[in-house]
Structure 1
Amino acid sequence: METTLGDVWREVLSTQEEPERWIVLGAAVLALAAVLFTPVWRVARNVVTIAHEGGHALVALLSGRRLTGIRLHSDTSGVTVSRGRPTGPGMVLTVFAGYVAPSLIGLLGIVMLMSDRITALLWLSLAVLAAMLLMIRNIYGVVSVVATGAAVFLVSWFTPSEVQGAFAYLFIWFLLFAGVRPVFELQSQRRRRPSPQSDADQLARLTGVPGTLWVGVFALVNLAVTALGVWLLLF
């Protein structure tokens, strides 16, 4: 039977049953393992970089800056370039957004999961990735975003609702947990190889507040969001 656009739209807007408890818990364990097990983390961290740079890009646009491009690199670093005032609240918020974006996106995803909008969550993720793809300015970045989008699309289009639910919970658990580790990696890198281009050191120049304190703020925000997310999903 032919699938119409109306059928797709109704499916996206429909609600799906929450997976069984053991699936939710299993997804949490797998997501935490992906963050803690370094060989897996090196690959999975690309998803975090997409969320990180997406956070910079979104806040840049919301603060009135002009977004000119995003680059994602094979070492899981990235850069988002925007034009506008080099100082001021808009610039501060744009720089600040990156390290807290993955955890906050995870929390937003939890709100959708609690409303049983599993398919809508997956398709919203696809829409965000498609919009971000328009601003990617290097080949690796294109490959990274397309590969992530392809995985989400294949699950959302070709698998039953039970598989979609398990995948969605795994995805959101991962973002929730994965927001924390890069903050500690940032401070470790700052100790070994200080870089004036790190987000914390850019914020230090913009505000006069030491970079180490900004790292602490990143950590506090992400740990608090993670704790809230765990409570919402498990209790």
Structure 2
Amino acid sequence: MGKWGTTIIFIVIAAILTYIIPFNSYFRNVDTMIHEFGHALVTLVLSGKVLYIHLFNDHSGVTYSEVWDSWRFIPISLAGYITASLFTALLFALYARDKARAGLILLSVITLINLIFFIRNGFGVFWAIGFLAINLFMLWIPWLLVRELYFVLIAFICLVESVFAPVYLVFTAVTSPGYAGDAANLWEATYIPAVVWALLFAIVAIACARYALGQFMREFRKPSQPRKIMRTQ
């Protein structure tokens, strides 16, 4: 079996394991937040204005932006899924380098930025406050293993969501292209069919997932430290 096939099997296993964990639904909005933050960030880079972000309890989200030229909506629409996929790869890269604490700090900073400047609906605000509080608690506790397990859980949920969302988008783009979210926006802006954009998002997501899982396995391939022998009298 090739590496791509192995990656898909690991993603399916990760999906099954993360979906049976209690409260997994709450943390699935992390990927949604990063997705919408990607839209907002590129909007600001292109000198646009972010009106607001809404996060919903069905794990969907929306970002409303203002830009001067319609072509700017192309990179803005591209940014959501791709940012979520790249961020998942970053989380696993940090874990492989024993920087779970830095990863939690990064997640907390992004959540705080979204909470202060962008998120404006009731559910989104309460969710962001709760997630930020959990992160700060995990950063405060002295138990390294608990913190790392929490970080790995967040990373795997982000991995599963970052792959399943664009894969489902492909299905939507085939059956109801006008309702295919960012892919539909890109179709309108470029006249390239929505399914092409959805496939692009899915390919990027699976490629990032492959890298992420490689980083995760790297943690287990680290050579064990040689034991030091000390003689006492």
Q: Name the SS for the 2:64 alignment partner.
A: strand
User: How many residues are matched?
Assistant: 207
Structure 1 gaps, min length 5: 1-27
**Where does residue 98 of structure 1 map in the other structure?**
80
Q: Which of 21, 29, 34 in structure 2 is aligned with 1:46?
A: 29
Matches within 5 A, 1:49-198: 49-88=32-71, 90-134=72-116, 135-191=118-174, 193-196=176-179, 198=181
Deviations 1:4-38 (A, max 9, x none): xxxxxxxxxxxxxxxxxxxxxxxx99853355569
Contact 1:53-1:78 at 8 Å conserved across structures: yes
Compute the TM-score of the two structures, normalised by the length of structure 2: 0.78
Query: In the aligned structure 1, how far is the partner of 2:82 from the partner of 2:18?
Result: 16
Deviations 1:150-209 (A, max 9, x none): 221111112411211222222222212321111122233445555357110100111121
Shift of 1:67: 1.4
Q: Rate the CA distance shift 1:193–1:212 in 2: closer, same or farther, 3 A.
A: closer
Q: Which amino acid aligns with 2:100?
A: I
Query: In the aligned structure 2, how far is the partner of 1:33 from the partner of 1:101?
Result: 24
Query: In the aligned structure 2, how far is the partner of 1:38 from the partner of 1:117?
Result: 24
Compute the TM-score of the two structures, normalised by the length of structure 1: 0.78
Q: Name the SS for the 2:178 alignment partner.
A: coil
Contact 2:159-2:209 at 8 Å conserved across structures: yes
Q: How much is the aligned-residue C-alpha RMSD, in angstroms?
A: 2.6
Q: Name the SS for the 1:85 alignment partner.
A: coil
Contact 2:85-2:209 at 8 Å conserved across structures: yes
Contact 2:92-2:213 at 8 Å conserved across structures: no
Structure of greater Rg: 2
Deviations 1:131-157 (A, max 9, x none): 000211110110121122122111111
Deviations 1:36-68 (A, max 9, x none): 569976544322211211111112112221212
Query: In the aligned structure 1, how far is the partner of 2:131 from the partner of 2:137?
Result: 10
Query: In the aligned structure 2, how far is the partner of 1:86 from the partner of 1:111?
Result: 36
Query: In the aligned structure 2, how far is the partner of 1:183 from the partner of 1:148?
Result: 24
